[in-house]
């Protein structure tokens, strides 16, 4: 029934809603606005109040969120409303409607004492806690599970630590559901970073065409033109990687998703850093919002464990290749 | 060479079917002498490579998108991409006639007349005619509009005087796609004309230039009162620049579409060969992060290529966006080549044959990759194109 939907229209709607979110006083208010526009349940099934669409439709929304520095755990909300649909439809529906704020503790597992990297954990009622065995539990934040505001690199979406003291209960997600959630998370993060980076490049190129120095526009200097062109190349690379990851054939999809995610995690912050350089001294001030984008992108890269994933990919690569042309080269014993 | 059963030209089968047939054919026909991952005393001769390339066409691996009436297979860019994935994965030599297939052919199809199309195009695919590209000059490399080679109309035909350089494969070519000037140098883009010049014409001298990788593919070509028949002119006298620049933007975007898969295959070769020896494996392990990065970049090149193919199939113009894939693959392949060189340079003496083959290949790739950020428009030119035509950055208020 949604065959005729256009992801671009989602981006336009999302952009307008996210602009109003910037004026909303609390996370709950922002949740309400996002839910009213139907943005929280885009990938959740219809029976929990979602639209049941693929991540291809979530990507433009995340792009708009990244562009607009959205202060809401949107990635977590989208993922949980989908992942919970089979096991706790009621809770999934509440998350979809913005009534309940839920988040995910991205760093650490229940095997350790403390978990971290829970965006807006202090405003949330539930937190997803990963288990060491690859499954996860969505626990209510109460009693044994506490959220404590912590040092946060991202100032728009403050991070909480989750302290677990004793046994806790909640909705359990199995291994396959958690794997799917993590894979979808990569796509959503990539799209979010793409939006943030696009805004940084736009701000930098607008500024370069506005600011005069030594009697000429900054944008007349080849050094700056080439810097901005390189950033445009990186942005286009990110864009194409995200498009490809959403359309590629089954057997290549995880590698394509990993590449889109790792490219965004590495290059998004670099575009923000470059934009700060173009703005000169102004870029280093709190007034220019480039640092907010930079902080958000770096936080996403950290929550997603980009550096670790590159190491793991390295291990997987040197473990061997399936290329039939080199099958005849024998491994050393 | 084993016999070839041509692929069925017509509506494409299920996804992957074309690729599977391409792989089967390559597996049967790419012998050790032709393989680029072998360091043999006697690699394939030019003649053998030409025969192999002609057979590729008969097997449906070249001229895939060209119309059937001109010897092509009449399929879409989708099948072209599918076949190119397999071509890339295989350690096979680069096409001898890539200029013919990827530059001359598309230009002739765009501006040539019917006679030119029906004579030149099939001869390119059958390898009867190998083409070279007479664009660059000593004073006009990336700045093509500065070229000086002159074409004057005379009673006998056009008289050509001038010099071309970096003309890959000129010494083995039978035709040259020549860009020459009919007007004054100050006209820049105006008054440029294209010719299909027979390389056997009196007055043409070719001198080979040895390149950094030891190859002698580059040439200087001198035109001294060369008379070219009016019938060899491609398009109108003022259409040269338009045709050349249109084709160059497509060239940057889609030529050697197999690059990402070839690059992946080189990485696969590096991994497989390093795994054949414990010491080499230990060296490779120290580079696991860099290799992971290379693998990611392979995917990102695929992203550039595949989204462009989708856009082209959807009827969109590529224009300046062709600079993105060109820039990206050239620099990313250089990064890989540097890492690969560093790894093989640390191999202990007395390595096994797989490591010797690998070292020879990676040294060659390292050297030849230096040209990749220079040819088809330097990195700096691509960055200028993006700044001016994509970001629309102003130079004055």
**Domain at A55, CATH number:** 1.10.540.10
Of A84, A100, A116, the residue that ends a domain is A100
In a domain, A233, yes or no: yes
- Taking CB atoms and an 8 Å limit, are B271 and A321 in contact across chains? yes
Q: Hey, what long-range contacts does A176-180 have (CB within 8 A, 24 or more apart)? A: A177/A83, A177/A86, A177/A136, A178/A83, A178/A130, A178/A134, A178/A135, A178/A136, A179/A134, A180/A83
Tell me whether residue A328 is in a domain.
no
B295 touches chain A (CB under 8 A): yes
Single out the residue of B98, B152, B156 nearest to residue B127, CA to CA. Answer: B98
Which residue from B324, B339, B272, B266 is spatially nearest to B298, judged by alpha carbons? B266
pLDDT (average), residues B186-191: 81
Domain boundaries, position A194: 176-320
Q: Between residues A93 and B10, which one has the greater pLDDT?
A: A93
Tell me, yes or no, whether B135 and B121 share the same domain. Answer: no
Task: List the beta bridge partners of residue A104.
Answer: A128
Residues 191-210 of A with CB under 8 A from B: 205, 208-209
pLDDT, position A9: 81
pLDDT bin (cut points 50, 70, 90) of residue B251 is low
Answer yes or no: is pLDDT of A152 > 80: yes
Within-domain flag for A38: yes
Give the confidence band of B11 by pLDDT, cuts at 50, 70, 90. Answer: very low
Residues A157, A91 within the same domain: no
B29, β-bridge pairs? none
What is the average pLDDT across A34-60? Answer: 93
Nearest to B392 by CA among A232, A145, A128: A232
Task: Tell how strand B175-181 and strand B131-134 pair up.
Answer: parallel
**Residues, chain B, total?**
397
Mean pLDDT of A62-78: 96
Interface touch A320/B296, C-beta < 8 Å: no
Which one of B201, B236, B271 terminates a domain?
Answer: B236
CB-CB contact of B296 with A263 (8 Å): yes
Q: Is residue A41 part of a domain?
A: yes
DSSP string of A145-195, one letter each residue? EEEEE---S-SSS-EEEEEE-S----EEE-HHHHHHHHHHHHHHHHHHHHH
Contact across the interface for B288 and A262, Cβ inside 8 Å? no
Domain check: are A185 and A285 in the same one? yes
Note whether A166 and A182 are same-domain residues. Answer: no
Query: Closest to B268 (Cβ–Cβ): which among A217, A313, A323?
Result: A323
- The parent domain of residue B363 ranges over 256-390
For an interface test with A, which of B292, B313, B385 has the most A Cβ atoms less than 10 Å from its Cβ? B292
Q: Do B34 and B152 reside in the same domain of the chain?
A: no
Query: How confident is the model at residue B65, as a pLDDT?
Result: 92
Do B151 and B98 lie in one domain? The reply is no
Same domain, B27 and B83: yes
Is some CB atom of chain A closer than 8 A to the CB atom of B274? yes
**B247 falls within a domain:** no
Q: Are residues A157 and A274 in the same domain?
A: no
Confidence band for A1, pLDDT divided at 50, 70 and 90? very low
pLDDT at B6: 45
Q: Are residues B96 and B24 in the same domain?
A: yes
- Determine the distance in angstroms separating the CA of A156 from the nearest CA of chain B, rounded to an integer: 29
Tell me, yes or no, whether A96 and A211 share the same domain.
no
Question: Is residue B371 very low, low, confident or very high in pLDDT (cuts 50, 70, 90)?
Answer: very high
Q: What's the complex ipTM?
A: 0.95
Domain boundary at A79, A100, A121, which? A100
- Cα A220 to chain center, whole Å? 35
Q: Cβ of A259 and B296 within 8 Å?
A: yes
Residues 6+ apart with CB under 8 A from B81: B257, B305, B306, B309
Same domain, A62 and A184: no
pLDDT tens, residue by residue, A169-222: 999 999 999 999 999 999 999 999 999 999 999 999 999 999 999 999 999 999
**Mean pLDDT, residues B77-90:** 92
Residues B266 and B342 in one domain: yes
Domain identity same for A194 and A288: yes
B302 interaction partners in chain A (CB closer than 8 Å): 244, 256
pLDDT at B10 over 80: no
Residue A326 lies in a domain: no
Q: How far apart are CA A121 and CA A160, in angstroms?
A: 5
Q: Is residue B248 part of a domain?
A: no
pLDDT of res. B215: 86
Do the domain assignments include residue A329? no
Task: Give the closest residue to B59 by CA, choosing from B9, B105, B102, B15.
Answer: B9
Does some domain include residue B44? Answer: yes
CA angle centred on B396, ends B393 and B397, rounded to 5°: 100
**Structural domain tally of chain B?**
3
> Is there a domain that residue A222 lies in?
yes
* B126, B145, B167 - which closes a domain: B126
Please name the residue of chain A whose CA is at the shortest distance from the CA of residue B353. Answer: A329
Is residue B2 pLDDT above 50, yes or no?
A: no
CA distance A333 to chain B (A): 8
Residues B263 and B380 in one domain: yes
pLDDT digits (tens, 9 = 90+) for B266-295: 999 999 999 999 999 999 999 999 999 999
What per-residue confidence (pLDDT) applies to B164? 95
Find the mean pLDDT for residues A144-152. 92
Tell me, what's the pLDDT at B197?
A: 97
CB–CB of A209 and B271 under 8 A? no
d(CA B198, CA B237): 18
Q: Report the mean per-residue pLDDT for chain B.
A: 91
Pair (A95, A150) in one structural domain = no
Select the residue of A240, A314, A331 nearest B292 (Cβ to Cβ): A314
Provide mean pLDDT across the span A32-60: 93
Average pLDDT, chain A: 94
Residue of A56, A308, A317 best to disrupt the B interface, most CBs of B under 10 A: A317
Are β-strands A136-140 and A126-130 bridged in parallel, bridged antiparallel, or unpaired?
A: antiparallel
Q: How far is A260 from chain B (nearest CA, A)?
A: 7
B142 DSSP assignment: S
Q: What are the structure tokens assigned to A294, written together?
A: 């930079």
Of residues A322 and B243, more confidence is placed in A322
Q: Say if residue A201 is in the same domain as residue A298.
A: yes
Q: Is the pLDDT of residue A85 over 60?
A: yes
Q: Name the maximum alpha-carbon separation found in chain A.
A: 68
Which among A239, A313, A320 has CB closest to B295? Answer: A313
pTM for this model (two decimals) = 0.93
- Do B203 and B286 fall into the same domain? no
Q: Report, as an integer, the average pLDDT of B151-174.
A: 94
Confidence (pLDDT) at B375: 87
Q: How many domains does chain A have?
A: 3
pLDDT digits (tens, 9 = 90+) for A274-307: 999 999 999 999 999 999 999 999 999 999 999 9
In a domain, B372, yes or no: yes
Residues B261 and B226 in one domain: no
């Amino acid at each position: 029934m949604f065959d005729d939907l256009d992801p671009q229209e989602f981006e336009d709607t999302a952009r307008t809603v996210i602009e109003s979110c910037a004026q909303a006083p609390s996370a709950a208010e922002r949740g309400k606005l996002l839910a009213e526009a139907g943005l929280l349940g885009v990938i959740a099934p219809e029976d929990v109040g979602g639209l049941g669409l693929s991540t291809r439709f979530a990507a433009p929304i995340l792009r708009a969120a990244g562009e607009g520095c959205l202060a809401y755990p949107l990635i977590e909300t989208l993922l949980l409303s989908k992942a919970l649909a089979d096991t706790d439809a009621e809770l999934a529906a509440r998350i979809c409607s913005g009534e309940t704020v839920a988040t995910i503790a991205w760093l650490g597992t229940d095997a350790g004492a403390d978990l971290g990297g829970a965006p807006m954990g202090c405003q949330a009622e539930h937190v997803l806690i990963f288990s060491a065995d690859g499954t996860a539990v969505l626990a209510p934040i109460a009693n044994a599970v506490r959220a404590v505001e912590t040092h946060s690199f991202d100032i728009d979406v403050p991070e909480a630590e989750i302290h677990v003291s004793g046994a806790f209960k909640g909705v359990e997600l199995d291994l396959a559901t958690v794997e799917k959630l993590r894979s979808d998370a990569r796509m959503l993060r990539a799209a979010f970073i793409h939006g943030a980076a696009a805004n940084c490049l736009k701000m930098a190129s607008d500024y370069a065409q506005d600011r005069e120095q030594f009697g000429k526009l900054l944008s007349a200097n080849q050094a700056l033109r080439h810097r901005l062109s390189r950033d445009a190349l990186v942005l286009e690379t990110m864009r194409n990687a995200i498009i490809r990851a959403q359309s590629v054939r089954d057997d290549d999809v995880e590698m394509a998703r990993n590449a889109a995610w790792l490219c965004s995690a590495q290059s998004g912050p670099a575009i923000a850093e470059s934009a700060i350089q173009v703005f000169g001294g102004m870029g280093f001030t709190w007034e220019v919002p480039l640092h907010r984008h930079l902080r958000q992108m770096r936080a996403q890269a950290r929550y997603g464990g980009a550096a670790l994933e590159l190491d793991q990919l390295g291990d997987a690569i040197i473990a061997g290749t399936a290329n039939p042309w080199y099958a005849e080269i024998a491994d050393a014993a | 060479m084993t016999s070839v059963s041509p692929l069925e030209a017509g509506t494409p089968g299920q996804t992957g079917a074309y690729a599977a047939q391409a792989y089967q054919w390559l597996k049967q026909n790419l012998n050790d002498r032709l393989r680029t991952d072998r360091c043999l005393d006697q690699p394939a001769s030019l003649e053998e490579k030409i025969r192999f390339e002609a057979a590729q066409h008969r097997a449906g691996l070249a001229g895939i998108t060209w119309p059937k009436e001109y010897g092509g297979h009449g399929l879409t860019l989708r099948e072209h991409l599918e076949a190119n994935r397999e071509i890339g994965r295989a350690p096979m030599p680069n096409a001898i006639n890539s200029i013919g297939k990827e530059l001359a052919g598309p230009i002739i199809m765009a501006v040539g007349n019917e006679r030119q199309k029906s004579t030149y195009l099939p001869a390119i695919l059958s390898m009867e005619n190998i083409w070279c590209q007479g664009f660059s000059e000593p004073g006009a490399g990336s700045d093509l509009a500065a070229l000086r080679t002159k074409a004057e109309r005379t009673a006998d035909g056009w008289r050509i005087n001038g010099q071309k350089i970096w003309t890959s494969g000129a010494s083995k070519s039978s035709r040259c796609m020549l860009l020459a000037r009919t007007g004054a140098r100050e006209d820049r883009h105006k008054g440029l004309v294209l010719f299909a010049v027979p390389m056997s014409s009196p007055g043409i001298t070719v001198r080979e230039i040895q390149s950094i990788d030891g190859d002698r593919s580059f040439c200087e070509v001198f035109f001294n009162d060369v008379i070219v028949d009016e019938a060899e002119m491609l398009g109108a006298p003022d259409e040269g620049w338009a045709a050349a620049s249109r084709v160059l933007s497509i060239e940057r975007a889609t030529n050697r579409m197999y690059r990402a898969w070839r690059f992946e295959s080189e990485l696969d070769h590096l991994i497989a060969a390093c795994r054949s020896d414990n010491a080499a494996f230990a060296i490779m392990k120290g580079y696991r992060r860099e290799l992971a990065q290379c693998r990611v970049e392979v995917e990102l090149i695929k992203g550039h290529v595949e989204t462009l193919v989708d856009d082209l199939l959807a009827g969109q113009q590529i224009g300046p966006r062709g600079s993105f894939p060109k820039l990206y693959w050239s620099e990313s392949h250089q990064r890989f080549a540097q890492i690969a060189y560093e790894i093989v340079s640390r191999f202990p003496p007395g390595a096994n044959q797989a490591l010797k083959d690998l070292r020879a290949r990676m040294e060659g790739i390292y050297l030849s990759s230096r040209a990749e950020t220079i040819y088809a428009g330097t990195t700096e030119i691509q960055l200028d194109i993006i700044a001016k035509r994509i970001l629309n950055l102003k130079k004055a208020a």
